[in-house]
């Protein structure tokens, strides 16, 4: 059974928890968000390395980039 909970309902559920459990929930959500961000960054790095290996990306300085954008 898949039940959708609105944001407001979720807040009410969280607020009904004891304070300690609310803190644990916030910590758990924060850790999970950080982990997702790390995974996303790691994927971006993998993609960039693959593009570079295939010659689809270049190296350069910020000045090189600015010169290229000005063209």
Structure confidence by residue, pLDDT tens digits, 24-42: 999 999 999 999 999 999 9
- Identify whether 25 is part of a domain: yes
- Identify whether 2 is part of a domain: no
- Identify whether 1 is part of a domain: no
What are the tens digits of pLDDT across the range 37-62? 999 999 999 999 999 899 988 788 99
- Identify whether 38 is part of a domain: yes
Number of domains in the chain: 1
Cα torsion 60, 66, 67, 70 to 10°: value is 150
Query: Rounded to whole angstroms, how far apart are CA atoms 45 and 47?
Result: 5
Average pLDDT, integer, range 2-15: 94
Q: Is the pLDDT of residue 2 over 80?
A: no
Q: Which domain holds residue 42?
A: 7-70
Q: Is the CB of residue 57 less than 8 Å from the CB of residue 48?
A: yes
- Identify whether 52 is part of a domain: yes
Q: Per the confidence metrics, is the pTM higher than 0.85?
A: no
- Identify whether 43 is part of a domain: yes
């Amino acid at each position: 059974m898949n039940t959708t909970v609105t944001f407001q309902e979720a807040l009410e559920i969280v607020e009904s928890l004891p304070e300690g459990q609310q803190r644990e929930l916030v910590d758990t959500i924060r850790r999970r968000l950080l982990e997702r961000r790390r995974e996303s960054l790691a994927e971006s790095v993998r993609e960039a390395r693959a593009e570079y290996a295939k010659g689809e990306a270049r190296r350069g300085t910020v000045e090189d980039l600015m010169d290229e954008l000005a063209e």
